Amino acid sequence: MTPVTDTELTECDREPIHLLGGIQPHGALLAFTEPDLSLAVVSANTQEWLGVSPQALLGRPLADVLHPTSLALVSRALTQPAGGSLRIEAAGRVFVGLLHRRDGLAVLDLEPVVESSSEEEALTRVNQLLSPLTRAQGPRGLLQEVANAVRALSGFDRVMVYLFDADWHGEVVAESLDPAMDSFLGLHFPASDIPAQARALYVRSTLRLIADARAAPVPLVPAVLPGLGRPLDLSDSALRSVSPVHLEYLANMDVRASMSISLVRDGVLWGLVACHHRQPLKVPAATRRACDVLARLVSLQLASEERATMSEELARRASFQAQLVEQLSAEDTSLTTSLSRHADLLLGLTHATGAALLLGETPVLLGATPTLDEVGALATWLGAQSFDATLHTEKLGQLHPPARAYADVASGLLAVRLDAGAPRFIVWFRPEVARTIRWAGNPRKPVVEGPGVRRLHPRASFDAWQETVRGTSVPWSAEDQASAAALRGALVGVLLRHAAALSRSNAELDAFGGTVAHDLKEPLRGIQQYVSFLLEDVGDAVGSEGRKQLEEVRWLAGRTQGQMDALFEFSRVGRLSLAWGETDMQDLVDEVILTVSARLVENQVSVRLPRRFPRVECDRVRIQQVWANLLTNAAKYHQPGTPRWVEAGFIAPGEPLASARRHGDEYVFYVRDNGIGIPERFHEVIFEMFRRLHPAHSFGGGSGAGLSISRRLVLLHGGDLWVESAPGQGSTFYFTLGRGPG
């Protein structure tokens, strides 16, 4: 034996169990065309049940087989939506008829009526069994009563209620059995025991009987439908024959007869009532229908109770959310700061043990979480995932392998995306919960070698087999996911309110700025003019020291006015609406060089342009301001006694540039000089507002705001601005422009 592969399990899922070309022998099948009701396919056992060979029936009208009253019933049923069973008389016998359509034919299953059991009697027994169900304590107690009731109705040796988990593994949660039968209560069964196509059929046909697992199937005549090249599709047939793999499975369990009743909730299979018997057992159709009715009633009751429980839980969490949103709305702080202050509410919202706020800044960690570096890598991974609002998993390590190293704090992840256009998330974590699962036998099915083929076989033993599962957290419930999605919507409202308040504040700031500009700039200009008049009129009288002091006053007034202008400019940059358009960067740079030519000539600086610039998308006026600031700075900070030069150029996409801040599909523009250079520890400091590395009088003065404004303008374009420099080796300022307005 060799281990089973995923491919072989997939092949098991693809087994055409609806196209086996046969039926179980405890009934007969007739398939006929419409509207002439001519027999096109019949089962090979019609001689036994109807007294006519299959070959003699083919092509004959259905009227030759059915009693006229029964023919009228069938004709009427064909004009109505699919309903219940029909009482059919044929060949002097009474049958239960089940009618459906498939492959362009009407298909009629016929099972002989067992006189000892009528549908009325079976439904009366269901009514008698409903009383214990109403007294059951909780969902598990209710399912136990279902197992007891179905066993009492049907007479099976063992009845189990089997519930599926999110991965389609099943667990036996209730059981009623003959003392001589093995108990499977509390054991788990792997998803491969009931493959995907079988689960789909359980939803289509909610009850399935195998009366004798060792009885030979009855073939259909003809075996292959003309024009389709395959057997008749028996998906909806109650008599459909059984897959050889499933028959082997039942034999390994020492089961001769079985019946399954689907538990369906909102159109989804969530469990089965599985019945087993050690001997063949032909359960009458009326009894089967009664069992099916019972299962449907219980499914409705459990769904109702679950919805009520979910509503209560959502109401409790809505209270958490309301408190959180109320606090966020009232606080005049950033979203990150506000959420951090109320970590208990944020964690309680989803029953998480840790959370990370990934809001475009440095990640903020709350509670038990991975490290800052690990969360940073996780944020990058999340940003590459495609999901609309929320993403959740109980097995993070399987999706993001680095997470296996911190499974003790983050095996479970629930993430909500706050911005469709940017990697902004709130992430909740749950730790690994190691647990032991008791399987009904080793779930790893063996593959047995055959002559030229490997075939999947079911387990031969169903003795309890234990497995410890690691790397999995407590699952995120529907309430957890709904709470995360609801918080996302609430936070959008909070951000909109903050944005409205910020807009009002900006309007007030603009009004204040206009007032300050008028009330302060004019006096500063007056001071400069008054000092100039004094220097002209009494300059000689005050002496050299007096003139120096007056010059200092004039310079300080001018510098203060320049700083004030720069401050207002800096405050407005963040609120600018860019005028995007295609720009010839060569024309723009030529224009800037002409504008600053006086400064270049004064400092005896030559300008190099290695090659023609490309055309790009940008706001021409704002990027012109960036070039002017960079070229002026480059001309200003020179080394005495050396020929001075400035180079303006670009690096095209795909051309090498040793910088981690450069993306491979964008232009990088630069201004390079052979000036005094900048120590590495100051590479970020120089972009701070009014931060200077040299005295204000040195290198021609200036407000100290040019680089701050330039970086802000570049960031507004979606790009970046940075410097690479060393003392005595000149400086190179690089900037990018993002990818345009879209």
Paired tokens of 410: 């983050």
pLDDT of residue 719: 87
What global pTM score does this model have? 0.56
pLDDT digits (tens, 9 = 90+) for 224-247: 998 888 999 998 898 999 888 888
The 10s digit of each residue's pLDDT in 586-624 is 999 999 998 888 788 888 899 999 999 999 999 898 899
Question: Cβ(75)–Cβ(63) under 8 Å?
Answer: no
pLDDT of residue 567: 46
CA–CA distance, 25 with 218 (Å, rounded to integer) = 6
- Strands of 104-205 (E only): list them: 105-112, 158-164, 170-177, 188-189
pLDDT tens-digit profile of 281-297?
998 888 888 888 888 88
- Predicted confidence at residue 696, as pLDDT, reads 39
pLDDT computed for residue 421 by the predictor? 66
Overall size of the chain counted in residues: 742
Q: pLDDT at position 534, please? A: 64
Mean pLDDT of the chain: 80
In this prediction, residue 10 carries a pLDDT of 44
Query: Which SS3 state, helix, strand or coil, does residue 739 take?
Result: coil
Q: How far apart are CA 617 and CA 531, in angstroms?
A: 47
Residue 458, pLDDT > 90, answer no
As to burial, measured by CB atoms within 10 angstroms (0-12 exposed, 13-18 middle, 19+ buried), residue 375 is buried
Least confident of 133-137, 186-190, 238-242: 133-137
In this prediction, residue 128 has a pLDDT band, given cuts at 50, 70 and 90, of: low
pLDDT beyond 80 at 556: no
453 pLDDT more than 50 = no
623 phi and psi, to 5 degrees? Answer: -75, -30
pLDDT band with cut points at 50, 70 and 90 for residue 687: confident
- Asked whether residue 439 carries a pLDDT value surpassing 90, the answer given is no
Q: Is 440 exposed, middle or buried (0-12, 13-18, 19+ CB in 10 A)?
A: buried
User: What percent of the chain is predicted at pLDDT more than 70?
Assistant: 73
Q: Distances in Å between the alpha carbon of 309 and those of 312, 337, 361?
A: 5, 34, 39
Q: Give the separation between CA 33 and CA 29, rounded to whole angstroms.
A: 14
Residue 112 or 696, more confident: 112
Confirm if 36 and 60 have CB atoms less than 8 A apart: no
